Amino acid sequence: MTDRLDPAVAAVRKAVRTAVDASVHSGHLAVAVSGGADSLALAAAARFVTARNGIRLHGLIVDHGLQAESLAVAEKTAGLLRELGLDEVRVLRVDVTGKGGVEAAARRARYTALRDALPAPDALVLLGHTRDDQAETVLLGLGRGSGPRSIAGMRPLDPPWLRPLLDLPRVTTRAACHALGITPWEDPHNADPAYTRVRLRAEVLPLLEDVLHGGVSDALARTAAQLREDTDALDQIAENLVPHKGNTLDVEELAAHPPAIRRRVLRRWLLAAGVPELTDQHLRSVDALIGEWRGQGGVWLPGGLVAERAHGRLSLTASA
């Protein structure tokens, strides 16, 4: 493997080194590897960086068991990681069950398995999301009318997750693998037009690039970063207004804030009280107790709680 002068390898290493230097304070680091180009380039760069500062690098591969060849892909990927010299490599077998589509269930199972496999309580897990993934997430969110939380995209650091490649395009990880002599696995899903994301990638983004004369992924990633700054600021303001757990809310005080703040306060208040799976509809109904008050009754919430307004205060009680 001759990689010293390759610019793609250098770019991936630089991104990983910057992220590791800024955020890794543990002697252990994990890297989640699907076998695709992004996470293999990430793992190779992480090995290079951690070898220099004595951090133990753990490779984690999730086998969702959804395709006949999934175990073989996982074992082959494990072999590649061992060749790269990772300190420990584990294949995590998960059962994909539960609500929603298979994709969503697989994602839930994957993140749970990765969290459970953390090599130390303060260890982080590197993920190989690139700038293109970020751009696709933002564009999908815009097209679906999602809220700012979705359009703000993925965070570079969201413990235990660390995403060093969010500023790099996918072509760089492919080029890095090529330069290192690593053959990535091509997920057949990535070519299946039945998936919205695949069509967005293959049809929509190239057209947008053409119409806008390039730079679209970079621009969408910038939009996400700006929105993150704004939403973080609003979140911080709301955070300071949330009463301690179990306390009621003063309606007049809340009504003085714009909806963007008010709903954030309500969301935090309800989540802290243990309301599971809070939907936007629930939040709007509780908010209506403030903004559209006409003496309506309580709002029934998941988890057996009811939000009620009485004597100028909002309270939560267990439903009978």
Ligand X SMILES: Nc1ncnc2c1ncn2[C@@H]1O[C@H](COP(=O)(O)OP(=O)(O)OP(=O)(O)O)[C@@H](O)[C@H]1O
Annotate 221-246 with b (16+ C-beta within 10 A) or e (fewer): bebbbebbeebeeeeeebeebbeeee
158 is in an annotated binding site: no
Beta partners for residue 301, in sequence order: 305
- Minimum CB separation from ligand X for residue 188, in Å? 13
Report the relative pairing of strands 124-126 and 88-93 from DSSP bridges: unpaired
297 is in an annotated binding site: no
Determine the Cα–Cα distance for residues 314 and 308; give it in Å rounded to an integer.
6
- Minimum CB separation from ligand X for residue 76, in Å? 13
The DSSP 8-state label assigned to residue 188 in this structure reads: G
- Minimum CB separation from ligand X for residue 125, in Å? 8
Among 117, 113, 221, which residue's Cα sits nearest to residue 166? 221
Instruction: Copy the structure tokens of residue 273.
Output: 């009280």
- Minimum CB separation from ligand X for residue 85, in Å? 18
Determine the Cα–Cα distance for residues 164 and 46; give it in Å rounded to an integer.
10
Beta partners for residue 61, in sequence order: 91
34 is in an annotated binding site: yes
* Residue pair 11/168 in contact by the 8 Å Cβ criterion: yes
Helix (H, G, I), strand (E, B) or coil at 54: coil
- Minimum CB separation from ligand X for residue 184, in Å? 11
- What is the contact surface with ligand X in residues (CB under 6 A)? 32-34, 38-39, 60-62, 107, 110, 127-129, 133
35 is in an annotated binding site: yes
Q: Give the residue numbers of the binding site for ATP.
A: 34-39
